[in-house]
Amino acid sequence: MKQFLRWIILGGTLFFLARALKDNWIEVTAIRIHGVGWAIIAIATGITLLAHTWAGWIWTWILQELNQPVSSTQFIQVYLKTNIAKYLPGNIWHHYGRIVAAKNANVSAGAATLSVLLEPLLMLAAALIIIVLCSSQFAAANTTVVIQILQLLSLAVVLWAIHPWFLNPVIRFLYRFKAKKSAVSSESTVPFSLKSYPLRPLLGELGFMGLRATGFILTMSALGSLNVNQIPLLLGAFSCAWLLGFIIPGAPGGLGVFEATAYELLRHHFPSALVFSAIALYRLISILAETAGAAFAWLDEHLAKS
pLDDT for res 185? 46
Average pLDDT over residues 101-124: 89
104 pLDDT above the threshold of 70: yes
178: in domain: no
What total of structural domains would you count in the chain? 1
- pLDDT averaged over every residue in the chain: 81
168: in domain: no
Please, are residues 290 and 84 in contact by the beta-carbon 8 Å criterion?
yes
Q: How confident is the model at residue 17 (pLDDT cuts 50, 70, 90)?
A: low
288: in domain: yes
184: in domain: no
What is the C-alpha R_g of the chain?
A: 21
Lowest model confidence (mean pLDDT) among 5-9, 108-112, 158-162, 257-261: 5-9
Helix or strand or coil: residue 97?
A: helix
47: in domain: yes
Residue 290 to residue 107: CA distance in whole angstroms: 25
How far lies 85's CA from each of 88, 120, 251, in Å? Answer: 5, 15, 13
pLDDT for res 254? 67
Helix or strand or coil: residue 262?
A: helix
Average pLDDT over residues 30-53: 88
286: in domain: yes
pLDDT for res 285? 87
122: in domain: yes
119 pLDDT above the threshold of 70: yes
- State pTM to two decimals: 0.84
Q: Which domain holds residue 57?
A: 2-11+34-162+197-305
Give the DSSP per-residue string, 266-297: HTTTS-HHHHHHHHHHHHHHHHHHHHHHHHHH
118: in domain: yes
- Name the phi and psi angles at 60, rounded to 5: -65, -30
- Name the phi and psi angles at 211, rounded to 5: -65, -45
Q: How many CB atoms lie within 10 A of CB 259?
A: 23
